[in-house]
Amino acid sequence: MARRSDHTREELTELALSSAEELLNIKPASELSTRQIATKMGYTVGTLYQIFKNLPDLLLHVNARTLKRLYNDCLKLDIKQHSAEQNILAYANLYLEFAHSHQGLWTLIFDNKVLGDEELPDWYLMQVKALFSLIEQQLRQIKPRSSEQEITQISRVLWSSVHGICTLSINNNLFVQSACSSQELIASLIRNILKGWTNG
């Protein structure tokens, strides 16, 4: 045993993260374990603790990759062809679509297990900020005169709401028997918030 050097530290990191991601496609985060990830990598648990501080730390890095992917998906949208409101709707639909097609990864972003008791590191918060700035950019086009504080506030309101609908539509426990699709809900939401905002 010892010093296999089959992989560099970077390769090992990549291997760990992609192994975790693959497992999350099959099972929920609550059933994910360090031993399973290590086995999928072809290593033992101990190796994982050379790369990451602990399991929450590993999962935080999985989340960082998910945010990056989400951001890149957003950049691929053809923004210039449409109105700001249409673009915001497009972002929201992309978000909803992503949440549904990558349930495991998406749910993990908001899993309390990841955060633990520690604060989120700066490099992670920067990624969150980058995503918000996409929405803020569109909001500024709608109402160019509004203050930065107002833009921040509305972007948070909008996004929290979209997020809330995604959450509840995924573990579809809270819509009871209602027939309304989450797409319709989001469309209605954005229309109403923006209408209320611009008429204010």
Return residues touching DNA (CB under 7 A). 1-7, 9, 12, 32-36, 43-47, 49-50, 54-56
Residue-wise DSSP of 9-41? HHHHHHHHHHHHHHHHHHS-GGG--HHHHHHHH
Cα separation, 164 vs 186, in Å, equals 10
Size of the site for a copy of itself (CB under 8 A): 51
For 112, the token pair is 């309390």
Residue 93 structure tokens:
């639909």
Contact with a copy of itself (CB under 8 A) among 35, 84, 112, 146: 112
Q: Does 8 bind a copy of itself (CB under 8 A)?
A: no
Report which residue type is found at 186. Answer: I
Binding range to a copy of itself, per CB under 8 A, among 13-21, 70-78, 87-95, 109-117: 109-117
In whole angstroms, give the CA distance from residue 175 to residue 156.
Answer: 23
> Do the beta carbons of residue 108 and residue 114 sit within 8 Å?
yes
Give me the 32-71 binding string for a copy of itself, x by CB under 8 A, dash otherwise: ----------------------------------------
Cα–chain center distance at 150: 24
Nearer to DNA, 4 or 80 (CB): 4
Give the chain's count of helices (H) and strands (E): 10, 0
Residue 156 in contact with a copy of itself, rule: CB under 8 A: yes
**CB of 63 within 8 A of CB of 124?**
yes
Q: Does 175 bind a copy of itself (CB under 8 A)?
A: yes
Q: Which CB sits closer to a copy of itself, 44 or 198? A: 198
Query: For DNA, which is the closer residue by CB, 7 or 163?
Result: 7
Residues forming the site for a copy of itself (CB under 8 A): 28-30, 107, 110-113, 115, 120, 125, 128-129, 132, 149, 152-154, 156-157, 159-165, 167-168, 171, 173-180, 184-185, 188-189, 191-197, 199-200
